[in-house]
Amino acid sequence: PALGVHPWYLGDILSNTTTITNGTDPPENATDAVDIKKYLNWEWLDTLETHLAQHPHLLVGEIGLCKMAKFVREFPSEKGGKTTALQLQKRVFRKQLELAAKWSRPVSVHCVNMHGSFMGVLRDVLSDA
């Protein structure tokens, strides 16, 4: 079995508020153009880590990047539209990869029309390890 946030379902972890006051709130990289902290509720990341700790054979997946996801196509323009949606996807994907590395777990990846971004995130995670 595997657990993770698929890029099609990022809408399920959107915050209803503009600031997150609980859960894991990861720091922004200086290169990020979007303040994603105001869009995502990061409690799911703590929950995923708890499950990984409790279940030693659990994989992380299916996670990834997808330009074709409805979430990307329909992300509100007043919140940054497609550009912001893709930044959110990259951040969520990276956080899940980092957890998989931390717990030495295999990953199942979904990647559609985002291979360059996928390799960039993978390089960043590997260089930070």
Query: pLDDT of 109-124, one tens digit each?
Result: 999 999 999 999 999 9
Percent of residues, the chain, with pLDDT higher than 90? 63
Q: Which residue has the higher pLDDT, 38 or 24?
A: 38
pLDDT surpasses 80 at 64: yes
Helix ranges (H only) for 2-80 are 43-54, 70-73
Helix ranges (H only) for 1-129 are 43-54, 70-73, 81-102, 115-128
Cβ–Cβ contacts within 10 Å for residue 93, how many? 28
> What number is the average pLDDT over the span 103-111?
96
- Region for residue 80 given its phi and psi (left: phi exceeds 0; alpha: psi -120 to 50; beta: otherwise): left
Query: pLDDT of 67-87, one tens digit each?
Result: 999 999 999 888 889 998 999
The confidence score (pLDDT) of residue 79 equals 84
> What number is the average pLDDT over the span 6-24?
65
